[in-house]
Chains A and B, each alone.
Chain A
Amino acid sequence: MSTSVDYIEMKIPAEPEYVGIVRLTLSGVASRMGYTYDDIEDLKIAVSEACTNAVQHAYNDENKGEVSVRFGVFEDRLEVIVADQGDSFDFDQKQQDLGPYTPSHTVDQLSEGGLGLYLMETLMDEVKVQSNSGVTVAMTKYLNGERVDHGTTIKNYETN
């Protein structure tokens, strides 16, 4: 049925060297689904940003945790959930801090971080962040090249 969904799950140690592994897996899943080169590159950045946040902020030196990643493969979209069990952060505050640079920024005002959330929101169609004991980021990107009449065609075959 058109509502079917496949899940691919992975768990990585919350360490920088494993973020690239998530990217490789994502790349495989997304290209199998038929995303364009540009969409795959956008997905890679957005998902890496979520993993980077988890790796950098969720755990301290004594408390090394894991980051869970789940790819939900739908017919018309890919949903990626990145979750950690570390310290949560104030999302409202973060959202106020995020945003692109503008030429009115002086050189001293340029922040060296904080672009991650902005990039996720810009590069994905939907982003939801839930912050309780840890942070969970759920993001969705639709398959743009999807043929709208595809389902109808199959249905016609079935009824004939």
Chain B
Amino acid sequence: MNLTVDMKENLSDIQINIAGEIDVYSAPAVREKLMPLANEGKDMRICLKDVNYMDSTGLGVFVGVFKTVSKEGGSLKLENLSDRLVRLFEITGLKDIIDISAKSEGGVQ
């Protein structure tokens, strides 16, 4: 049940990679890492390729980050979502609100 959040600052944006399970236990740590960037109004690109589990606690974090970063003039983009994660954003209606993109290539278990 490890969760890692790695960040790399580029010229134009910040690339963030999250790996592991985002649930009630790990969500506060994710929020703690992302919120400062949202408060600075950064352009955030978050890769979720290695997120193998997420529920409403994770969605709550991304909604909070999205609200803050939008207010501060930055942006949030979620990338490389698995079919499972796309579905979660679809059924909750968040797909039409937050910028998400599925993985470019198929081929997952």
List the interface of chain A (C-beta within 8 A of B): 16-17, 19-20, 23, 37-38, 41, 44-45, 48-49, 51-52, 55-56, 100-103, 105, 107-108, 110-113, 115-116, 118-119, 122
Contacts and interface: CB of A to CB of B under 8 A. Distances in A.
A23 B53 contact: yes
A94 to B, nearest CB: 13
Contacts of B25: 16-17, 19-20
A84 to B, nearest CB: 14
Interface of A is mostly: helix
- 3 pairs of A and B residues whose beta carbons are closest in the complex: A100-B93, A101-B93, A16-B25
Q: Is the interface on chain B under 10, 10 to 19, 20 to 34, or 35 or more residues?
A: 20 to 34
B94 interface: yes
Contact of A103 (B56, B61, B96): B96
A48 B24 contact: yes
Given A20-B21, A37-B109, A108-B67, A100 B57 contact: no
B92 A113 contact: no
Given A41-B84, A49-B56, A112-B64, 19 more contacts: A17-B1, A19-B23, A19-B25, A20-B1, A20-B23, A23-B23, A37-B109, A48-B23, A48-B55, A51-B24, A56-B24, A100-B93, A101-B97, A103-B96, A107-B71, A110-B97, A112-B67, A116-B56, A119-B91
Contacts of B93: 100-103
A115 B57 CA distance: 9
Contacts of B66: 107, 110
A100 B91 contact: yes
Interface string B19-46: 0010111000000000000000000000
B97 to A, nearest CB: 6
Contacts of A105: 97
B56 A119 contact: yes
Nearest to B25: A16
Given A49-B55, A115-B92, A110 B24 contact: no
